[in-house]
């Protein structure tokens, strides 16, 4: 310290602050050195709660086995904003390398513009073939003949049942599992027995009422497709609702309300709460309540959504992997991305703990998966799923779901006749069809 005392000139100060700023910015980045030998794959998803925990574990397990690949996992909030973010990222062309998506959203996001096609060769190189996936889901992963998504799972409507109440009502078989019913009469008979066992309380709970309720749509879109009913023509240009079949499903829903077999004033939260607290023998809902119910110790098991009008179809959407559009895709990162996808898909059995049914058929045979109770009880639904029509205005919490939910909710309570409910739904569908698609097909 012989020199003159240090003085801070303006230039030094400016330079110093800039350097500090730079250091700060670098500190925020994910700690993987640019010079490191790892290939970085940026992965976006919206999986929260138990889904999120399991996905995080799978990413960790992948990292252990693949030291050369670094998965940068980015968890974003579920819902509309997620799709906005993916759309904006895809529009800019500098998007994440991989994103989790809902299958029903494929048409709405303009596959081919905001999403890049899946490279089938690279997928095969990573060990995945189309024949290994549930056919209806694999087919729906295509848009205008091009593959845009790799299916991961389906989350169908299922029937949760309270084992204590059902045993009391004599509805369980010798193996302690619910005896499957076929047709409306058998189901109604079972529900009536459960009602008696519960002292006249409504035995069935599902999301039937509420602001923006989609429960009535999901129940209807499980019942109606069982009889082979469709909503729209293949190209989405015409309404193809079969009135007789649609009304049969609606009348059945009305019967449930009329006979007090379900409580038409139950909203989503109340339906789950009732079942959790042993106040309902049955719950019709998506499979995602499995972990929550297990945690809370409700005596329950699960079965496929009952077959009422023919097949055992059940409303479902699927988690899939998509590649948001990138202007310049690094081939090395691309390969790593496919390896990561293949790893997740092949280890679907781990994922199934959350309740979702793997779309990858070999996973359904694994002992590890079959041992999952009750998650493996409804696995056969995977080839029977009723997916949304492939038009741009469908998908989770879409306008279509909400409009149909609002049209059918008063049918269950009897405030509206099934005929009026159907007329309202058709009017809403006509409105939705007349709005212009932001991503018209001919644009591609």
Partner 1 sequence: MTTTVAAPVASGAPAAKAKVHRSWTQHGLLFVAPFLLVYVAFLVWPTLLGLRMSFSSVNIAGTNDRMVGFANYAEAFGDPRMWRSLWNTLVFTALSTVPLVLLGLLFALLVHNLRFMQWLWRLSFFGPFLLPSAVVAVLWLQMIYPPEYGLINGTLGTDVLWLGDPGVAMWSMVLTTVWWTVGFNFLLYLAALQSIPQHLYEAAAIDGATGWDKLRSITLPMLSRTTALIVVLQLLASLKVFDQIYLMTGGGPEDSTRPIIEYAYDVGFTGYRIGYASAVSYILFVIIVVVSLVQLRLFRKREEVAS
C-alpha span between 292 and 276 (Å, rounded): 9
Check residue 268 for interaction with partner 1 (CB under 8 A): no
Nearer to partner 1, 345 or 425 (CB): 425
Nearer to partner 1, 89 or 272 (CB): 89
Nearer to partner 1, 110 or 264 (CB): 110
Check residue 113 for interaction with partner 1 (CB under 8 A): yes
Whole-angstrom distance between the N-terminal and C-terminal Cα of the chain?
70
C-alpha span between 381 and 378 (Å, rounded): 6
Output the smallest distance, CB 285 to partner 1, in A: 22
Taking CB under 8 A as the criterion, which residues in 316-355 touch partner 1? 325
C-alpha span between 176 and 327 (Å, rounded): 56
- Pattern 165-204, partner 1, x by CB under 8 A: ----------------------------------------
Output the smallest distance, CB 187 to partner 1, in A: 33
β-pairing verdict for 204-205 and 282-286 = parallel
Output the smallest distance, CB 93 to partner 1, in A: 9
Tokens describing residue 39? 């290939």
> Do 377 and 419 form a contact (C-beta atoms < 8 A)?
no
Q: How far is CA 340 from the centre of its chain?
A: 20
> Do 380 and 358 form a contact (C-beta atoms < 8 A)?
no
Output the smallest distance, CB 438 to partner 1, in A: 4
**Sequence-separated (6 or more) residues with CB below 8 Å from residue 131:** none
Check residue 269 for interaction with partner 1 (CB under 8 A): no
Nearer to partner 1, 114 or 178 (CB): 114
Coil, strand or helix: which one is 399? helix
Q: How many CA atoms lie within 13 A of 164 on its CB side?
A: 10
Check residue 423 for interaction with partner 1 (CB under 8 A): no
Check residue 88 for interaction with partner 1 (CB under 8 A): yes
Residue of 68, 80, 259, 368 interacting with partner 1 (CB under 8 A): 80
Output the smallest distance, CB 401 to partner 1, in A: 14
Residue of 17, 84, 240, 277 interacting with partner 1 (CB under 8 A): 84
Q: How many residues bind partner 1 (CB under 8 A)?
A: 22
Tokens describing residue 283? 């719950």
Output the smallest distance, CB 89 to partner 1, in A: 10
DSSP 102: E
* Ramachandran assignment for 242, one of left (phi > 0), alpha (psi -120 to 50 degrees), beta (any other): beta
Output the smallest distance, CB 95 to partner 1, in A: 11
Tokens describing residue 302? 């699960």
Check residue 402 for interaction with partner 1 (CB under 8 A): no
Check residue 363 for interaction with partner 1 (CB under 8 A): no
Backbone angles phi, psi at 72, to 5 degrees: -90, 100
Question: For the CA atoms of 283, 288, 292, 297, what is the dihedral angle to 10 degrees?
Answer: 50
Tokens describing residue 199? 């002292």
268 sits in which H/E element: helix 268-276
Check residue 443 for interaction with partner 1 (CB under 8 A): yes
Check residue 108 for interaction with partner 1 (CB under 8 A): yes
C-alpha span between 172 and 176 (Å, rounded): 5
Output the smallest distance, CB 151 to partner 1, in A: 24
Output the smallest distance, CB 326 to partner 1, in A: 13
Nearer to partner 1, 62 or 439 (CB): 439
Nearer to partner 1, 13 or 88 (CB): 88
Output the smallest distance, CB 112 to partner 1, in A: 10
Q: Which region among 127-135, 169-177, 271-279, 431-439 touches partner 1 (by CB under 8 A)?
A: 431-439
State the maximum Cα–Cα separation within the chain, in Å, rounded to a whole number: 100
Give the interface with partner 1 as residue ranges (CB under 8 A): 80-81, 83-84, 87-88, 90-91, 108-110, 113-114, 211-212, 325, 435-436, 438-440, 443
């Amino acid at each position: 310290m012989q020199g003159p005392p240090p003085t801070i000139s303006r230039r030094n100060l400016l330079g110093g602050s800039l350097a500090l700023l730079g250091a700060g910015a670098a500190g925020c980045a994910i700690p993987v050195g640019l010079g490191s030998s790892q290939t970085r794959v940026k992965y976006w998803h919206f999986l929260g709660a138990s889904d999120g925990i399991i996905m995080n574990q799978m990413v960790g397990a992948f990292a252990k086995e693949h030291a050369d690949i670094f998965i940068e996992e980015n968890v974003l909030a579920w819902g509309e904003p997620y799709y906005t973010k993916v759309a904006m990222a895809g529009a800019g062309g500098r998007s994440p390398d991989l994103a989790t998506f809902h299958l029903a959203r494929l048409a709405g996001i303009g596959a081919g513009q905001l999403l890049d096609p899946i490279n089938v060769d690279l997928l095969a190189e990573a060990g995945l073939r189309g024949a290994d996936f549930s056919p209806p889901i694999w087919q729906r992963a295509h848009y205008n003949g091009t593959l845009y998504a790799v299916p991961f799972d389906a989350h169908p409507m299922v029937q949760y049942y309270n084992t204590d109440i059902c045993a009391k009502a004599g509805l369980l078989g010798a193996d302690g599992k619910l005896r499957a019913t076929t047709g409306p009469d058998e189901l109604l008979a079972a529900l009536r027995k459960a009602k008696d066992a519960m002292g006249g309380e409504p035995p069935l709970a599902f999301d039937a009422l509420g602001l923006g309720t989609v429960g009535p749509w999901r129940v209807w879109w499980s019942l109606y497709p069982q009889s082979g009913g469709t909503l729209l023509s293949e190209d989405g240009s015409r309404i193809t609702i079969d009135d007789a079949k649609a009304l049969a499903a609606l009348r059945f829903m009305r019967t449930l309300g009329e006979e007090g077999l379900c409580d038409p004033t139950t909203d989503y939260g109340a339906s789950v709460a009732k079942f959790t607290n042993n106040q309902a023998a049955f719950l019709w809902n998506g499979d995602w309540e499995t972990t929550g119910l297990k945690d809370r110790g409700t005596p329950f098991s699960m079965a496929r959504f009952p077959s009422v009008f023919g097949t055992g179809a059940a409303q479902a959407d699927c988690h899939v992997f998509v590649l948001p559009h990138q202007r310049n895709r690094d081939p090395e990162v691309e390969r790593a991305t496919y390896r990561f996808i293949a790893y997740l898909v092949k280890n679907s059995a781990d994922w199934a703990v959350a309740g979702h049914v793997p779309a990858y058929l070999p996973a359904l045979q694994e002992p590890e998966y079959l041992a999952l109770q009750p998650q493996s009880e409804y696995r056969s639904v995977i080839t029977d799923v009723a997916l949304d029509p492939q038009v741009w205005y469908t998908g989770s919490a879409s306008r279509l779901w909400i409009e149909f939910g609002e049209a059918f909710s008063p049918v269950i309570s009897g405030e509206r006749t099934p005929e009026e409910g159907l007329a309202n739904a058709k009017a809403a569908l006509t409105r939705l069809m007349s709005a212009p698609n932001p991503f018209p097909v001919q644009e591609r």
